[in-house]
Structure 1
Amino acid sequence: MKNSFGPLFIVVFFAGSCNYLDIVPDNIATVDNAFKLRSQAEKYLFTCYSYLPKHAHTGNNPALLSGDEVWFYYPYKNIPVFRPPENWEIARDNQNILNPYLNFWDGYKGGISMFQAIRDCNIFLDNIDKVPDMTSRERARWTAEVKFLKAYYHWFLLRMYGPIPIIDQNLPVSSDITEVQVIRQPVDECFSYIVDLLDASADDLPETILNPVSEMGRITKPIVLAIKARILMNAASPLFNGNTDYSFFTNAEGEPFFNQQYQPEKWQKAADACLDAIEASHATGHKLYYFRPLVDVYNLGPELQTQMNIRNTLAEKWNSEIIWGSTNSMASEIQAQAQAILDPSVGVTGAKTTGAHAMYAPPIKIAEMYYTANGVPIDEDRTWDYHNRYEIDTASLEDSLYIYPGYETAKLNFDREERFYAGLGFDGGVWYGQGKYDQEDLYHLEGRLGSYSGKSRGDQYSITGYFAKKLVNFLNVIQTDATYQVQSYPWPIIRLADLYLYYAEALNEVGGPSPESLKWINMVRERAGLTPVEEAWPAHSNNPEKFTSQEGLREIIHQERLIEMAFEGGRYWDLRRWKEAERTLSQPITGWDINQENPIYYYQPVLLFNQSFEMKDYFWPIREHDLIVNKKLIQNPGW
C-alpha cells in the first residue's frame, strides 16, 4: 500500500498551474498518434530521456555550485559576459521556500520537473504495447529503458527532498480531488520502489551499445547495476539509515519518514550491488583509465603521465572507465569557466571575453584536501611542513614538472600528490596541454595582481587563486586571435573508480578493514601514483595504525573519495549521505589575496565567506505554493 488511496497514485501539482491534476497532454489524440508507429514511439522514448538533468551545466546540477568546491566573487550583477548561475546562492545560504533554487519538484528556478518526467514515462509504459511495427525484443528494450528512467527520476527527487510521493501510474482524468492530493512516502519505501524498478529493467537491456553513432548515452545493463549500487550506498549511509535526527519528522499518522533503527544489513546489500556492478562492468570491457599518448606527439615522463591519467578520466570521451556518460550534457561551458589564461602573448581581455573565463575557483580548503606526495593527509605527514604551509618557497629544477623553476609560491603547493597537480592550477603551477605538449616547454600560471593568469580585469578571474584544471580537456587551445577552441565531452555520471571506492566503503562498514576492502582503494591509488594504504600510513603518517580500525579506514575512504571524485559532483552528495555536511560546509571559504602583486602579501589567506550548514539544509524545501495547493504535503524540517 503506497498511501491511503490505494497502491498506485500520481503527482498532482505542476509549476505555473492552479490545477490539481495534469496527467494527460492537452491534445489526447496526439498521445494516441504517438504510439501508432515505431518512428513516433521512438520520439516519445527520447522525450523520456530529455528530462535527464544536465549534469555538466553549473546552472542545472545541484552538486557543482551549491556546496564548497568552487567559489566566485561577489557581487556579480554587472558582469557583461558570464555570471555564476543563481543556484550558487544556495552555497551562500540563500535557499528559500517561496522560489527555491534548482527546484526539481515543480521545475522552477533552474530545475526540471521530475514529476513531469515521471508522468511522460508512465504514458510511454501505458502505450508502448500498442505500437504495431516493432519486434518484441525492441519493445522489451525500450520498456526497460523507460523503467530505468522512471526509477532515476524518482531517485533524483529522493536524494534532494528525502521522502517523496511514489508515482507508479497516472490516474485517469475522472479522478476526484481526494485521489490526486498525493502524500510523501517513508524513505525506505521509496528506496525499495526504485530498486524494484531497476531490477525489473536490467535483464531486457543490452550489455553494451552496439551502434555508438546513434545510441551512445542510452541505458545498458551495467549502467542500471552501477546506479543501483549508488542508490543502495545512499540507503545504507547515515543520512537515510537510522537517522534519529528526524525522529520528529512524521506523516499525518505519526509514522516517521526515516527509519529510526540503524540496519547494518543495508551495507551488505550495498556491497553485493557494488560487486555485481563491478563484475558486469569488467565483463563488458570497462577498466580503470590510463592515458595512452601518441609517442611522437606527447613527450610525457611518468609524472605527467600520471597527471594525464587523472585529467582524462573525466575529459576523454567514452574512455574505458566511463560507465554512463550523459550525451544530453556535454561539458563545454564549464571548461571555459575553469580555463586559466596561460599565454602572456594572447590578449588577456580578448581571450577572456571570447571564452576563457577563469572564474571556477576552488577554495584553499580544497587544495588542502589532497594528500602529500607520500599519499597521506597533509596534517598527518610526519615530514611535511603543515604548520608553515602558507609561507612561500622557491621552486627548483627538481620541481619543474609541477612548479616553474625559480618561481615563488606557497609551501602548500609543494610536494603534493599527482592528483593535486592534475586537478588544480595555481600561481606558479605548470599546466600541461592547451597547445604545449613537450615537458621541456610547458605553460605555467602567474596569478598575482596584474599577471596574465591573475586579476587583470573586473569581471572574470579566480577569486581564490586556484583553478579547476581537471575539468579542462588538455587539447583545448586559446588561439592568438583570442578564440577558445573547446573539445567537448559527455559528462560522466558514474565511472569505475566510483564503484571501486563505493565497494571498499561498503566492505569496511560490513566487517571493518580487510585485504579485500584495501584492494579496491589501492587500485585507485596506484593509478594516481601512490603506494598502498597499508604501506603509506606506517611509513609516513603520525597515525600509522589508522587504517587498521573501522573508524580510521572509514576516514581514509571518505578522503580518498573526495579527492578522486573532485569537481565531478560527488563531494556534494557524499558529505550529505555521511552526515558530515554540517561540519565541513560550516567552515570558512578562503582564498589567496589576489589583489596583491608581492608574493609575501599574496599568500595570505583571505576570508571570502562564512559558510554555514544546518540540519534543514540536508534536503531541499518544497515550494510554499505546492503546500498551499496540496494540504496533504508536509514540508521538510526547518523550512
Structure 2
Amino acid sequence: MKNIKILFSILSLSIILISCDSDSIELEPQGSISSEIVFKDPAFAEAFLNAIYNNIPNGYSRGWYMLASATDDAENSYPWPASNTIFNTANITPNNSRFNGLWNNSYFQIRRLNNFIKNYDQLEGTDPVKNRLKAEAHFLRGYFYSLLLRTFGGVPIITVPQELTDDLLVSRNTEEETLAFIISELDTSADLFANASERSSTRGSWDAAMALKGRVLLYQGKYSESAIASKKVLDNTSKTLDSDYESVFVTDGASEVIFDTQFSDPDKIHWANLFNTPKSSTSISGWGGTGPTQNLIDQYEMKDTGLLPEEAGSGYDSSKPYEGRDPRFEASILYDGVEWKGQTWEFRPEGNASIASSGDWTRTGYGMRKMIQEDRNHNERSTQHWIHLRLAEVYLNYAEALIEAGTNLDLAVDAINTVRNRVSMPPISLTNQSELRKRVKRERRIELAFEEHRFWDIRRWGIAGNSEVLTIYRVDMDTDGNLINDGKEIWETRSWNDANYKFPIPQGEMDKNPNLTQNPGYE
C-alpha cells in the first residue's frame, strides 16, 4: 500500500508538470521525489524521469509564436508576440528575454537529475533496465546543459544536489568547460545505453546521445569531432529516412525520428493547428501564426534541374511560380491556389486569405503547411509530435562538419545527396569547399524549415545581422494571382544587435548571485 501511494504521488506530479510553467515548477512537493523507493524500484524511477521529460522545451510550448518567425524564414501574423516585439526589434534585455524561463527550468531539472544520479546505484532489477535508467539520466542532464550552452554560452556546472546549507552563489564555467561536461555526460550515457533495454523515441537512446553529441560539437566549431560522432550514428543506427517527407512531422513512430515529444488527447495536447492555420474568410480559418517569407520561398529549387528559380536554365515559369519545385515546398508551404483542408486558398489581394497589415491575416502571402494536421479540424486540440532529433539532421550535421573541417568532401556530398534523394531531388556534384558550404546551408534551411534550427544556425554562422537576413520580403501579386515584376516586395527591415548572438543571463539570477557575470552587451 505504501508503494502504491508513492507511485500515485509521482505519477500525479508528472501529469501536473505537463501544464505547469517554469515559475510554478518550484512548488513541487520535495517529499514525493526524495523517498528512497524512487531510487530502488525501476517503475518509480521511470516515473521520476517522466516528469523531467515532460519539461523538455518544444517548439509548440511557446504557443503564440515559433522561433522561425524570429528568422528570415517567417513572419508571425500577430503583432504582439515576442518574435515581433522583442527578437525582430533587437529589444532583448535581461528582464524581458524569452529565454529566462529556459534558465530556471533547466536548472530545476538539473537539480532533480543530480539527486537521481547521486542515488541511482541503489536501483534494483535487471542490468539492462538499470543501465537504461542511468543512461537516460545522463542524457537528460547533457541535454539540458546543451540548451543552456547554445543560449547563454558558458554556464555554472552543478553536478551534486544542493542543500540550503551549501554555497549556492556559484560562478559561470567557460564555454570549453561546459562543452567538455556535456560531451562527458553524452559519452557516459552512450556507454550505458550500449548495454541497456530499448524504449520508444520519446526517451533517450544511444542514437540520441550520439546525435546530440554531433550537434553540440558542430555548434561549438569542433568539426572533426562532430563528424566522428555523427558518422557513428549513421553507421550504427537502425533508423531510416522516411519516404514520405510530409508525414514525418505529423505521424508518431516515423522511422527517422530519434528523439521526440509526443502528445495525445485529452491530457497532453497543444494548439499548433489553430495557431498556425491561416486566417481566411471561409469556414476553415485559423489564427494565422507562422507565415513563410518570400526569402524562404526563393530558396526552394526546381525539381527537374536542382537550380534556384533565379538561375538560368532552371525551368522556372513566373506565370506558374509554384509548379515544379522541390517536393518539400509542397509539403511545407501553403501558397496562392493550393488545395488544402478541402478548399482552395487564395493569398492574392482580395482573395479569401489575402495579405493584410492588421488582424491575424498573413503578412507574407503564405502559410505554414509543414507540421500541421490536415485531417484534423483546426479548432480541435493538436497532437502532432515535436521532433528534437531526426536522422536527416544527422546527415546534414555530418556533411557540414566535414565541409568545415575541409576533409572527405566526397563523403559530405554523399550525405547531402542522401537527404535530397529521399525527395527525388537531383544530386549535387560539387567539389569546392566554398560552394559546398553554401549548398549545405541551403539544404539545412529547406530540409529543417520551421523546426527551429535556423534561429540557431544564423547565430553560429555569424550572419544574423546581415542585410539579406534582416530584409524580409513578401509575395507581390495582383488580384488574378499573377506576380508583379519579380514577385516580391519588402515587408519590413528588422533590427539587430550583435549582443543577441547570445542571450542575457536573467536579471533575477544576476540580482541573487553576485558571482555571475553578464554576457557582453547586456551589462
TM range, smaller chain:
0.7 to 0.9
Q: Residues 623 and 27 of structure 1: is their aligned pair in 2 closer, same or farther, counting only changes over 3 Å? A: closer
Instruction: State the shift of 1:331 in Å.
Output: 7.7
Instruction: State the shift of 1:326 in Å.
Output: 1.3
Correspondence for 1:269 among 225, 233, 246? 225
Q: Residues 208 and 128 of structure 1: is their aligned pair in 2 closer, same or farther, counting only changes over 3 Å? A: closer
How far apart, in 2, do the equivalents of 1:87 and 1:130 lie?
50
Correspondence for 1:47 among 39, 45, 51? 51
Q: Residues 135 and 116 of structure 1: is their aligned pair in 2 closer, same or farther, counting only changes over 3 Å? A: same
Match of 1:317?
252
Q: Bigger CA drift: 506-515 or 312-321?
A: 506-515
Contact 2:410 2:431 survives alignment (8 Å): no
Correspondence for 1:101 among 80, 98, 101? 98
Contact 1:50 1:328 survives alignment (8 Å): no
Q: Residues 166 and 311 of structure 1: is their aligned pair in 2 closer, same or farther, counting only changes over 3 Å? A: same
Contact 1:57 1:334 survives alignment (8 Å): no
How far apart, in 1, do the equivalents of 2:152 and 2:121 lie?
33
Instruction: State the shift of 1:95 in Å.
Output: 1.6
Q: Is 1:140 paired with 2:114?
A: no
Contact 1:586 1:610 survives alignment (8 Å): no
Q: Give the letter aligned to residue 154 of structure 1.
A: Y
Q: Give the letter aligned to residue 498 of structure 2.
A: M
Instruction: State the shift of 1:486 in Å.
Output: 6.6
Q: Residues 121 and 418 of structure 1: is their aligned pair in 2 closer, same or farther, counting only changes over 3 Å? A: same
How far apart, in 2, do the equivalents of 1:358 and 1:61 lie?
10
Match of 2:206?
221
Q: Bigger CA drift: 600-609 or 497-506?
A: 600-609
Q: Is 1:204 paired with 2:192?
A: yes
Greater C-alpha radius of gyration: 1
How far apart, in 2, do the equivalents of 1:558 and 1:316 lie?
27
Q: Residues 16 and 521 of structure 1: is their aligned pair in 2 closer, same or farther, counting only changes over 3 Å? A: closer
Q: Residues 485 and 270 of structure 1: is their aligned pair in 2 closer, same or farther, counting only changes over 3 Å? A: same
Is the partner of 1:202 in helix, strand or coil? Answer: helix
Correspondence for 1:168 among 159, 182, 186? 159
How far apart, in 2, do the equivalents of 1:64 and 1:209 lie?
36
Contact 2:271 2:382 survives alignment (8 Å): no
Q: Residues 56 and 34 of structure 1: is their aligned pair in 2 closer, same or farther, counting only changes over 3 Å? A: farther
Is the partner of 2:465 in helix, strand or coil? Answer: helix
Match of 2:473?
590
Match of 1:336?
274
How far apart, in 2, do the equivalents of 1:471 and 1:56 lie?
10
TM-score by length of 1: 0.70
How far apart, in 1, do the equivalents of 2:497 and 2:367 lie?
28
Contact 1:25 1:31 survives alignment (8 Å): no
Correspondence for 1:35 among 34, 38, 57? 38
Instruction: State the shift of 1:634 in Å.
Output: 1.1
Deviation string, structure 1 residues 95-153 (Cα, Å, up to 9, x no partner): 2222322313544xxxxx2111101111112233345x544443332121111111111
Match of 1:529?
424
Q: Is 1:126 paired with 2:118?
A: yes
Contact 1:450 1:456 survives alignment (8 Å): no
Instruction: State the shift of 1:197 in Å.
Output: 0.7
Q: Root-mean-square deviation (CA), in Å? A: 3.4
Q: Give the letter aligned to residue 278 of structure 1.
A: L
Instruction: State the shift of 1:269 in Å.
Output: 1.0
Contact 1:314 1:492 survives alignment (8 Å): yes
TM-score by length of 2: 0.84
Is the partner of 2:298 in helix, strand or coil? Answer: helix
The residue correspondences of 1:7-26 to structure 2 (distance < 5 A) are none
Instruction: State the shift of 1:328 in Å.
Output: 5.8
Percent identity of the aligned residues?
Answer: 25
How far apart, in 2, do the equivalents of 1:36 and 1:271 lie?
37
Deviation string, structure 1 residues 149-196 (Cα, Å, up to 9, x no partner): 111111100010011111111234322xxx322111111111111010
Instruction: State the shift of 1:473 in Å.
Output: 3.1
How far apart, in 2, do the equivalents of 1:526 and 1:574 lie?
23
Correspondence for 2:177 among 168, 189, 197? 189
The residue correspondences of 1:214-293 to structure 2 (distance < 5 A) are 215-236=200-221, 266-281=222-237, 284=238, 286-290=239-243
The residue correspondences of 1:308-387 to structure 2 (distance < 5 A) are 309-327=244-262, 332-340=270-278, 348=282, 350-352=283-285, 356-373=286-303, 374-379=305-310, 381-384=311-314
Q: Residues 206 and 454 of structure 1: is their aligned pair in 2 closer, same or farther, counting only changes over 3 Å? A: farther
Instruction: State the shift of 1:89 in Å.
Output: 2.9
Contact 1:97 1:621 survives alignment (8 Å): yes
- Return 5+ residue gaps in structure 1 as ranges: 1-14, 77-83, 108-112, 237-265, 291-308, 396-410, 436-442, 535-546
Q: Is 1:63 paired with 2:67?
A: yes
Q: Residues 591 and 61 of structure 1: is their aligned pair in 2 closer, same or farther, counting only changes over 3 Å? A: closer
Match of 1:420?
329
Match of 2:9?
none
How far apart, in 2, do the equivalents of 1:27 and 1:522 lie?
51
How far apart, in 2, do the equivalents of 1:599 and 1:61 lie?
28
How far apart, in 2, do the equivalents of 1:172 and 1:485 lie?
45
Contact 1:69 1:362 survives alignment (8 Å): yes
Q: Give the letter aligned to residue 51 of structure 2.
A: T
How far apart, in 2, do the equivalents of 1:316 and 1:208 lie?
26
How far apart, in 2, do the equivalents of 1:58 and 1:167 lie?
27
Q: Residues 216 and 447 of structure 1: is their aligned pair in 2 closer, same or farther, counting only changes over 3 Å? A: same
Instruction: State the shift of 1:516 in Å.
Output: 1.7
Contact 1:593 1:606 survives alignment (8 Å): yes
Instruction: State the shift of 1:631 in Å.
Output: 1.5
Q: Residues 186 and 36 of structure 1: is their aligned pair in 2 closer, same or farther, counting only changes over 3 Å? A: closer
Q: Bigger CA drift: 271-280 or 45-54?
A: 45-54
How far apart, in 2, do the equivalents of 1:492 and 1:573 lie?
16
Is the partner of 1:492 in helix, strand or coil? Answer: strand
Q: Residues 230 and 97 of structure 1: is their aligned pair in 2 closer, same or farther, counting only changes over 3 Å? A: same
Instruction: State the shift of 1:513 in Å.
Output: 6.1
Deviation string, structure 1 residues 260-283 (Cα, Å, up to 9, x no partner): xxxxxx3211111011111232xx
How far apart, in 1, do the equivalents of 2:203 and 2:92 lie?
34
Correspondence for 1:464 among 364, 372, 379? 364
Q: Residues 630 and 620 of structure 1: is their aligned pair in 2 closer, same or farther, counting only changes over 3 Å? A: same
Match of 1:89?
86
Instruction: State the shift of 1:16 in Å.
Output: 7.4
Q: Residues 106 and 275 of structure 1: is their aligned pair in 2 closer, same or farther, counting only changes over 3 Å? A: closer
The residue correspondences of 1:544-559 to structure 2 (distance < 5 A) are 547-559=430-442
Correspondence for 2:338 among 429, 433, 436? 429
